[in-house]
Structure 1
Amino acid sequence: MNPDLERLHPYPFEKLGTLFADLPASDKSPVAFSIGEPQHPAPDFVQQALRDNTALLAKYPGTAGLPELREAIAGWLTRRFKLQQVSSDHQVLPVNGTREALFAFTQAMLDRQRSPLVLMPNPFYQIYEGAALLGGGEPVYLPCTDATGLQPDFDAVDESTWLRTQVLFICTPGNPTGATLSSAQLKALIDLADKYDFVIASDECYSEIYRERAPAGLLQACAELGRHDYRRCVVFHSLSKRSNLPGLRSGFVAGDAEILRRFLRYRTYHGCAMPNHHQVASIAAWNDEEHVRANRALYASKFDAVLDILGEPLKVSAPDAGFYLWPKTPVDDETFARRLKSEENVTVLPGRYLSRTVQGRNPGKNRVRMALVAELDQCVEGAKRIRALIERL
């Protein structure tokens, strides 16, 4: 078997299960802040589109996706990021959710004969690391701390590292930090990609959950530079968070046409075409913004209510975007999570499970990730229980 399989770390929720394994059952109702799975109802019109198109189950889907879906995605990108042009034929590729696409993309991109480096934020979405390891690359973890605005300090990366970099993963808005990269920061990264010949893979899955200002995107930064071929730049988007459709497994990759041409060839062998009825439902979702605005309003209400309870005791404020809180803990993160589960039956994810220790420092240590995905009343109840624990510590 592939020896790199042995290099994979346990998934964060596997570690969480081990942490809680010996805890007795609680008599309190559970509140889950641990997993970032949207709990708001899926849009009715998307569900109807699925029901109306079950006949398409009798047809094999094409790997490149329906032209109508690619056109809907290109139209959404153009409107959302103020782009002059996006070729639905050459610069857009539908995928079965970004988790699958991020992993597959890395396998297609890395030249393992050149000792490739894959740079990523730390903490990070674990798929970046696993994809790098199984693709024959070496992960390089860029710490995201308060001192760096909870995004990597790219100026701290030395030239020898950039020279071996083949893929740079960025996540904006960040998971778990919620921090965003500015257009100026994205443009600086594009300059680095040109100088050192690497690809920027921008995970923008949380871009539509924001409170005031829509976050900038990598293709938007390209367009502002007059770079309409999006050379060396690809973005990953999904309907999971934007439209509360995690089970639809629908997203897309967009950007550099030459990269996508070769990635499509990989995917043709990979066998990962999106089912046709999912594609039709996705067209409806990408073409509608009303449900997205309503979704943002729901998250805003939850942040206001939860921060009214926890903001002072945890010294935490709303993130730039996304649906996570990333507070520091009054005791170490594992102890906090374990006591919270044992005493209040509230589940949060220890920050160290989302990070790696580099040079003796783990930027997730003594933080926890709280996903405000449940309904408002559950989020309020969970926040009250967390506050009760803090007051006992």
Structure 2
Amino acid sequence: MNPLLSQLQPYPFERLRQLFASVTPNPAYKPISLGIGEPKHATPPFIQQALSKATLGQPGLAGYPATAGEPALRQACANWLERRYGVVLDAATQVLPVNGSREALFAFAQTVIDPSAQSTVVCSNPFYQIYEGATLLAGATPYFAPSVPERNFAIDWDSVPASVWQNTRLMYVCSPGNPTGAVMPLDEWRKLFEISDRYNIIIASDECYSEIYFGDQAPLGALQAAQQLGRDGYKNLLMFTSLSKRSSVPGLRSGFVAGDADLIKPFLLYRTYHGSAMSPVIQAASIAAWGDEAHVIENRRLYCDKFAKITPMLSQVLDVKLPDAAFYLWAHVGKHCGGSDTLFAQRLLEQYNVTVLPGSYLAREAHGHNPGAGRIRMALVAETAQCQEAALRIQAFIQGGA
């Protein structure tokens, strides 16, 4: 058995199941889950039709797909990047389809980290848990840079010592952030690029929430920031994105990575042996999805309407505000339940049958502090009426003396 597996911590949702094992939810209420960030908006019919047509057509499922993906899919991804960010990439060498951003973020660490070098991987804290697992199974050590609530949860990159940067091979960046929803501005990207150049660090930019935002300006992307700063070629930079949130198709498992061709080439080699080719019918549906923006605009409108209604309701009883982007509310529980995020989640489920995720499960104790402690993450992915009902129950829970 791989001894590195013993370093992995239980995934947050496994920890949540353990936390709730002794809890009996109030049967007077129908269960509502705000715990898992799984899009619940309806899948656009044209994507379903493209999937069905490809399944019934030729070659359908009768051939093995190429790991590099069909040229038409790579070009569709490149076309979207140009429309969305104004960046022009070579679809053949700078774009690679993947089976969703999750598996790609994990596999990329296995590609670029030398397990004999005892390298460090830097990421934010709190963070998407795949970053830690990918780091540990690649034989590296994670280093967690804290987020700063007073600065809109910006990551305190300056707190990372030079000695850590010197040993760092890979940096995971998430913008818009999970769970905070914070978007990195150009000045922060400039700082990260300077760090990358100084210490020869690869940046993996996780941008799967980029199309769900609440202001007039779309979130800045890594490749876009690099272009604005005159960094042609995107040295040591890859962005990762997927259709799951953008197009409400989490079951499709489709995304792509783009950027430095010198990183794409070894990543493709790794994936060729790893067996990570995308089904031809998924590729056909993906081409259709990346080529359409009308459904994305409508999806974003639904989220904007939902957050405009739910955020004020919850801000009456919790320390929470509208994020820059993504579909989470990252709330501080204050003095309720003694300030314990886990006790808050237990009692809320017990009394009102609403599930939220304790923030401490999304972070790690680092530098004497867990930045997720005392917070809860609420995924507003269900229909608006269900989210409103959940908000009303949370109000009643807190006003009842939680």
**TM-score class, shorter:** over 0.9
Could you tell me how far apart the structure 1 residues matched to 2:307 and 2:177 are?
17
Instruction: Describe the SS at the equivalent of 2:10.
Output: coil
3-state SS of paired residue (2:377): strand
Q: CA deviation at 1:228?
A: 2.5
Report how far residue 148 of structure 1 moved.
4.2
For residue 285 of structure 1, what is the aligned residue in structure 2? Answer: 289
Partner Cα separation in structure 2 for residue 254 and residue 72 of structure 1: 12
Residue segments in structure 2 that go unaligned for 5+ positions in a row: none
Q: Give the structure 1 partner of residue 303 of structure 2.
A: 299
Note the alpha carbon deviations across 1:62-81, whole angstroms, 9 max, x for none. Answer: 00001000001001111111
Cα drift, residue 222 of structure 1: 1.1
Question: Would you say how many aligned residue pairs link Structure 1 and Structure 2?
Answer: 392
User: Which amino acid in structure 2 is aligned with residue 208 of structure 1?
Assistant: E
Provide the identity percentage: 52
- List aligned pairs for 1:99-248, cutoff 5 A: 99-212=102-215, 213-248=217-252
Residue pairs, 1:231-380, within 5 angstroms: 231-329=235-333, 330-331=336-337, 332-380=340-388
The residue aligned with 2:45 is 44
Question: What does residue 30 of structure 1 align with?
Answer: 31
Q: Which position in structure 2 is the counterpart of 1:91?
A: 94
CA distance in 2 between partners of 1:172 and 1:308 (Å): 24
CA–CA separation in structure 2 for the residues paired with 1:228 and 1:288: 28
Calculate the aligned-residue CA RMSD, in Å. 0.9
Local SS of the residue matching 1:248 = coil
Structure 2 distance, partners of 1:61, 1:104, is 19
Partner of 1:74: 78
More displaced, 22-31 or 239-248? 22-31
Structure 2 Cα separation of the partners of residues 155 and 317 of structure 1: 26
The TM-score, its normalising length taken from structure 2, stands at 0.96
Query: For 2:66, what is the secondary structure of its paired residue?
Result: coil
Q: Displacement, 1:359?
A: 2.6
* Match in the other structure for 1:9: 9
What amino acid sits opposite 1:46 in the alignment? I
CA contact (8 A) 2:25 2:352 kept: no
2:247·2:296 contact (CA, 8 Å) conserved in 1?
A: yes
Would you say the 8 A contact 1:183–1:217 is kept in 2?
Answer: no
Deviation by residue 1:263-306 (Cα, 9 ceiling, x = unmatched):
00000000010100100100110011000010011001111111
Question: What secondary structure does 2:155 align onto?
Answer: coil
Residue by residue, what CA displacement relative to the aligned partner does 1:240-279 show, whole Å, maximum 9, x if unpaired?
0000010000000110001100100000000010100100
In structure 1, the residue matched to 2:19 is 19
- The residue identity in structure 2 corresponding to 1:183 is L
Specify whether residues 225 and 359 from structure 1 end up closer, same or farther in structure 2 by C-alpha distance, changes over 3 A only.
Answer: closer
Matched residues in 2 for 1:286 and 1:373: separation?
21
Kept in 2, the 8 Å contact 1:102–1:127? The answer is yes
